[in-house]
């Protein structure tokens, strides 16, 4: 398939492979700091490049853990603003492990090798059931481009000359650091409801976009208990045309429909049980 057709994947899940050791989490500033009246301007500077990205396609190497299983694999990834994604979990040979497509609040996932499909679920719920990572299509776009949510700034604080911590009206925390005179968004903590809280860190910037992304779950203060993934991006293309058919999946007429519980129990990263 051509790049224009956007072979896309968030998680090419070779779950039997051992995960490589990733970089440790950043030490983010804490404490009350002092008010930062320049918070909105700093955020605008730091996100100027990623805000201009309408579409992104990339090859992605993934390692880490999800649902108690080690993960290692290679993938292709692509997203479109504001909330469209197509994910193909590429296997070493043969058809993809799964194909995930989402637009807005609607997602479908096809288990290509098993000829089974789950249709019309909420994207973060479907991706969590299949791969252990509860990210929506909008979340995927923001994570892969290293960008911030579009929610307005509620307040900002300064912790030293080279750090700004911004809280959005939705309660998310954005961490910005000045590097060689330029502001960069280096981390986001998404304080979503319940199990959907997560943290993303952005490293190795190139043309204003990260080439290395670390995504971990945050549950009741426990970091990485549900998932802890390192994403290494290569062959990145931005603002290429992705037509609407990219974000649909052709379902074979013989495919068996699944329930969400069946997907959780038998999907690529079904939770381990009985110590296996």
Per-position pLDDT tens, the chain of length 276: 333 333 333 333 433 333 344 578 999 998 889 999 999 999 999 999 999 999 999 998 999 998 888 888 878 889 999 999 999 888 888 888 889 999 999 999 999 989 999 999 999 999 988 888 889 999 999 999 999 988 889 999 999 899 999 999 989 999 999 998 899 999 999 876 555 689 999 999 999 999 999 999 987 667 888 899 999 999 999 999 999 999 999 999 999 999 999 998 877 765 544 343
Domain that holds residue 100: 3-22+33-266
To which residue do tokens 């998932």 refer? 227
Alpha helix (H) ranges present in 35-133? Answer: 39-46, 48-51, 123-131
Beta bridge partners of 71: 64
223, 203, 205: which is closest to 213 by C-alpha? 203
pTM for the model stands at: 0.85
Is-contact 27 82, C-beta < 8 A?
no
Whether residue 41 lies inside any domain: the answer is yes
pLDDT at res. 195: 55
Give the CA-trace dihedral at 92, 143, 33, 179, to 10 degrees: 80
Question: What is the domain-level CATH number for residue 61?
Answer: 2.50.20.10
Half-sphere exposure of 233 (CA within 13 A, CB side): 26
CA distance 139 to 137: 5
Whether residue 27 lies inside any domain: the answer is no
Whether residue 169 lies inside any domain: the answer is yes
Whether residue 271 lies inside any domain: the answer is no
Whether residue 272 lies inside any domain: the answer is no
CA distance 22 to 212: 10
Whether residue 88 lies inside any domain: the answer is yes
Whether residue 275 lies inside any domain: the answer is no
Whether residue 274 lies inside any domain: the answer is no
- How many separate domains does the chain show? 1
pLDDT at res. 267: 73
């Amino acid at each position: 398939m051509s790049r224009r057709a956007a072979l896309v994947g968030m998680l090419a899940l070779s779950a039997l492979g051992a995960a490589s050791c990733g970089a440790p989490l950043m030490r983010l500033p804490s404490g009350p700091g002092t008010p930062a009246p320049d918070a909105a301007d700093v955020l605008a500077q730091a996100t100027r490049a990623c805000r201009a990205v309408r579409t992104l396609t990339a090859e992605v190497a993934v390692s880490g853990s999800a649902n108690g299983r080690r993960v290692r694999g290679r993938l292709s990834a692509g997203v479109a603003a504001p909330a469209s994604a197509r994910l193909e979990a590429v296997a070493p040979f043969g058809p993809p492990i799964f194909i995930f497509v989402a637009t807005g609040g609607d997602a479908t996932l096809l288990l290509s090798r098993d000829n089974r499909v789950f249709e019309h679920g909420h994207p973060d719920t479907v991706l969590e059931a299949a791969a252990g990572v509860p990210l929506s299509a909008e979340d995927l776009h923001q994570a892969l481009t290293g960008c911030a949510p579009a929610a307005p700034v509620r307040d900002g604080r300064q912790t030293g000359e080279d750090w700004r911590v911004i809280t959005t009206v939705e309660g998310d925390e954005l961490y910005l650091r000045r590097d060689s005179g330029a502001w960069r968004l280096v981390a986001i903590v998404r304080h979503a409801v319940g199990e959907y809280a997560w943290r993303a860190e952005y490293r190795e910037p190139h043309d204003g976009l990260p080439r290395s992304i670390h995504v971990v779950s945050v549950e009741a203060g426990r970091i990485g208990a549900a998932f802890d993934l390192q994403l290494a991006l290569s062959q990145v293309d931005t603002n290429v045309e992705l037509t609407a058919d990219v974000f649909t999946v052709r379902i074979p007429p013989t495919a068996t429909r699944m329930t969400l519980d069946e997907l959780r129990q038998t999907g690529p990263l079904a939770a381990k049980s009985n110590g296996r």
